[in-house]
Structure 1
């Protein structure tokens, strides 16, 4: 069956046969951008605080060096629970709809983030403080594991066939927007409450601000209609009884390869979103000892370049295909990896920003097309499970412990050269995984094309 054939859904029709309006589609794009921005703001606020203050406030008895490693480990621990969030969200999303999952994950993330801002430190309640901190980070991980799949499917499944890349980039740009917002508010608080004041109370304000953002995100998301692909599945009564079982019975290798594609991007992205560069540049015992405020502003500026390149890559993937866009992205990302630390190690904040800006161009090109790529890999009946679990596994293999690994490498070798080799290796893994996949840009997404969607997109395996 040719991928050029289109269903009413692919031509822009809803299951009832009416044409989906441009207003409906704009509302979906706006809702996915706002919702994912709020989710990732919450997630990145934690990572930023882990790099700047959590080591001192929650893990100080472990000693200065090991306390920071423990702080970064708590960033990674949440990733281990992303598959749980993905499994739960995938099951609920494939059986009860994408919209329900988006509401639940948003609320869970907001509650966990706000409670971190209210949490007493080790000096106040002892070992209970880091235990509670880890528990709340786990809740963030469960939420993040379920959020992404729902957001990207709402965007891509509402999109016209020839614009899935740019529609799919809408939840993707929520990540750099979340980083921009998180780093910007942290930088602002570092100016308003410098030094000891930041340690005492300044770091808490961004966490408490999450309450406002969650209310905004909830209001926006509740106005969005359910995915038309899911509505078609429901009308046809073709919902899979155990979508996760079906996914791993028929598509285990595809899940692994898709996860490795994301791992190659995620490990590099977590140099900033995981707080490593911020900590490395500002470490009082390190070689650079830069002021936190300008470093945070540099990270904020790099989030803008990441946002732009992500949107451009999504748009470009509609023109030249997902696979080709990714290949360009891996080359650009490798250039960014090689130039990052030589520029950071100058100790000049403008050169630090330049290094991050170059890096984020490649990051955007290996992230912008991901939503459309993933959605086009899996059959409609198990798509939520497929994209969510692939994403969660890729996050564990890539970003989960990337800041911890980088910190340990620097402490063991005394230089950042080993970190560069580590990041270059992850980039090459992502490239190889991409080369193993056929480009399925434009394949029909509706349930009436399930047989075509189920054909393996992996080179060397049968299409039928």
Structure 2
């Protein structure tokens, strides 16, 4: 690869990752500061306020499939770059606006209504952001290093989460309780504005993906229609497989990464600063190993990584949650164990999901399939966990929920078509015999192995 090509690739990686970082910074900050949001924007200050705040977390996910249905086909028609430019501005602006909502004491019921409205706008933009960023990254990356380069999208994810965690931890330790309740919790949301402008600048400096530009020139695929019908008829297997994998991915993601500080504080009674410290250590460890796991998937394939991660999570999650409930040290160790076992999923999704669909429906397939599963099972995980713990008194509910989700993911991984080293060019599903034949006609080299 030439120096110029590497420079373009690195800019594409940065442009993809920054938007993901903004998105997950918002989700991380919202989850980590849920108790302060509840006190400021909802009536009362008890458990009901936290449940309503977590419901606001879930609301943004309920609208994500609508975003996927809008942005996905649009991205396949007008290009990945244009859609990603729109989604990052929408995401950053709505996140920043959350920090400007007057308190419940000032404007009454309008405060939670405004919060839910902004969360829905965030969900609408996020419905195109992740699927577009993953597609953009995958189509730019070299076929034999897609796992390695794709992992940096998830580095952006965890970097956003970690920055949100650090912001919350810093504010909690610097400001007194009264300052946090009145204005301190708003500061991290306001940071999203400058982050969004940086992301917009990076994305403006990168052309659309070579794979999309190639198929855009093909007169036979200029008019893309019936995408929803095609996803149900022609591409039902990858849609259902993606659905199962995302259930595992995001139930663990939102139960473990987002909900843990609330769980440790409201359910286990841990000090607030300690509850924020627990996920921080595990997230930093995950950040360090994601590129190595992505590179490993380029050697052994995505399928073994998913099967191992789901099976290992099923074995470890219940003992790990007993450890989390034992002490601060136990919580740090238990979270880190689960985070490291979950990392093989997280490291490979940018290489796995876009490769499940052909170019003409890739953005739509990932955006719609990913967001429908996420809205039903991922973003709702914190409020479901909180409600079930309240109803049953069983503090192991998150472990049971993750166990079931990983069982679904393990079953889905058996149906995953291996695409390590396979080209994403053409109009066929990558990794299939039809795709191999088409790519021979296009002059593509044979992949390392396709199963």
Q: TM-score, normalised by structure 1?
A: 0.88
* CA deviation map 1:141-183 (0-9, x unaligned): 1111100111111211111111111121121221111110000
Change (3 A) 1:178 1:454: farther
| Structural mapping, 1:192-203, within 5 Å | 192-203=174-185
Question: Which residue, out of 304, 307, 322, partners 1:342?
Answer: 322
Higher helix share: 2
**From 275, 278, 300, the counterpart of 2:280:** 300
Shift of 1:353: 1.5
| CA drift at 1:47 | 2.4
Please state how far the C-alpha of 1:26 moved relative to its aligned partner. Answer: 1.5
Give the equivalent residue in structure 2 for 1:122: 104
Distance 1:19 1:454, change over 3 A: farther
Instruction: Give the Cα–Cα distance (whole angstroms) in 2 for the partners of residues 405 and 170 of structure 1.
Output: 30
2-structure distance, mates of 1:185, 1:112: 19
Asked if the contact 2:92–2:193 (Cα under 8 Å) also holds between the matched residues in 1, the reply is yes
**2:37 match:** 54
State the Cα deviation string for residues 335-365 of structure 1 (Å, max 9, x = none): 44223321221242x3222111111112211
Distance 1:102 1:199, change over 3 A: same
Q: Which of 80, 100, 111 is matched with 1:98 structurally?
A: 80
| SS of residue paired to 2:217 | helix
Matching of residue 241 in structure 1 with residue 220 in structure 2: no
Change (3 A) 1:19 1:205: closer
1:252-401 equivalences under 5 Å are 252-274=236-258, 276-283=259-266, 286=267, 288-348=268-328, 350-401=329-380
**Which of 14, 23, 26 pairs up with 1:39?**
23
Contact 2:33 2:185 in 1 (8 A): yes
Match of 2:94 in 1: 112
1:191 lines up with 2:173 in the alignment? yes
In 2, Cα distance between the equivalents of 1:92 and 1:29? 22
Give per-residue Cα distances to partners, 1:384-441, cap 9 Å, x unaligned: 1011112102212331211111112211222222332221111111111111223132
Question: How far apart are 1:244 and its partner, in Å?
Answer: 3.3
What's 1:3 paired with? none
Instruction: Give the match's secondary structure for 1:368.
Output: helix
* Cα distance in 2 between the residues matched to 1:282 and 1:121: 23
Structure 2: runs of 5+ lacking an equivalent: 437-449
Residue by residue over 1:82-110, the C-alpha shift from the partner in whole angstroms, topping out at 9 and shown as x without a partner, is 11111111111100111111111110011
CA distance in 1, matches of 2:382, 2:433: 37
TM-score scaled by length of structure 2: 0.91
User: Equivalent residues in 2 for 1:398-413 (5 A)?
Assistant: 398-413=377-392
Tell me the secondary structure at the aligned position of residue 423 of structure 2: coil
CA distance in 1, matches of 2:316, 2:119: 30
- Distance between the aligned counterparts of 1:333 and 1:450, measured in 2? 29
| Alpha-carbon shift at residue 452 of structure 1 (Å) | 7.1
Distance 1:80 1:347 in 2: 35
Query: 2:347 aligns to what SS in structure 1?
Result: coil
CA distance in 2, matches of 1:448, 1:132: 43
What corresponds to 1:141 in structure 2? 123
Q: Distance in 1 between matches of 2:210 and 2:4?
A: 9
Hey, what's the Cα distance between the residues in 2 that align with 1:451 and 1:23?
Answer: 26
Distance 2:274 2:46 in 1: 23
Secondary structure of 2:224's partner? Answer: coil
Structure 1 residues 398 and 306: CA distance shift in structure 2, 3 A: farther
8 Å CA contact 2:429, 2:435 repeated in 1:
no
After superposition, the CA RMSD in angstroms is: 2.3
1:6 counterpart residue number = none
| Match in the other structure for 2:442 | none
1:221 maps to 203
Q: 1:195 to 1:231 in 2, by over 3 A?
A: same
What count of residue pairs does the alignment treat as equivalent? 435
